[in-house]
Amino acid sequence: MIQRLSHIGIAVADLEKSLALYQQIFQPAAIHREVVPEQRVEVASFVVGGVRIELVAPTSPDSPIARFLEQRGDGIHHLAFESDDVAAELDRLAQQGIQLINATPTRGAHDMLIAFLHPKSTGGVLLELCQHHQTAHK
């Protein structure tokens, strides 16, 4: 079941410059940083009002974020919603005709399992489903 908004992903070309700007605006208490090799991105994230903001920068020219930036520039990339079972949600949505980018979950930031739904099936919005890895069914 899809439970709540997890985070807002913002694609950025220059992580350091963008992080400095967002720190100036929101003054977050803590910043989490990590590289996610599977997604070919580096992430800097912080919480505002209970919602995580993820600044996502490509670490490779073939990263999906690099392609997004080439086409659109910096800006909102995706909305992510937490689920208690991403794999089951993907099966349910595929059966309902929703086009999936990821047919099976993959590793994302914050030790989450993630999968994306294609914007062609979601009204032009890239949606991500995510699940805490430790709650995933083995």
Asked if residue 114 has pLDDT above 90, the reply is yes
Task: Confirm if 106 and 131 have CB atoms less than 8 A apart.
Answer: no
- Give me the torsion for CA of 65, 27, 20, 10, rounded to 10°: 10
Minimal CA–CA distance to 69: which of 124, 15, 130?
A: 15
Q: How far apart are CA 30 and CA 134, in angstroms?
A: 23
Question: Mind listing the pLDDT tens digit for each residue in 31-84?
Answer: 999 999 999 999 999 999 999 999 999 999 999 999 999 999 999 999 999 999
| Burial of residue 115, with CB atoms counted within 10 A of its CB: 0-12 exposed, 13-18 middle, 19 or more buried | buried
Could you please report the per-residue DSSP string of 36-92? ETTTTEEEEEEEETTEEEEEEEESSTTSHHHHHHHHH-SEEEEEEEEES-HHHHHHH
Look up residue 135 and give its DSSP letter. Answer: G
Question: Mind listing the pLDDT tens digit for each residue in 93-111?
Answer: 999 999 999 999 999 999 9
Give the pLDDT of residue 134. Answer: 67
Q: Name the pTM for this structure.
A: 0.91
In this prediction, residue 1 has a pLDDT band, given cuts at 50, 70 and 90, of: confident
Domain count, the chain: 1
Token digits of residue 135: 């709650």
Give the pLDDT of residue 138. Answer: 43
- Domain range for 68: 2-135
Which CATH number goes with the domain that contains 10? 3.10.180.10
Give the pLDDT of residue 103. Answer: 94
Give the pLDDT of residue 136. Answer: 53
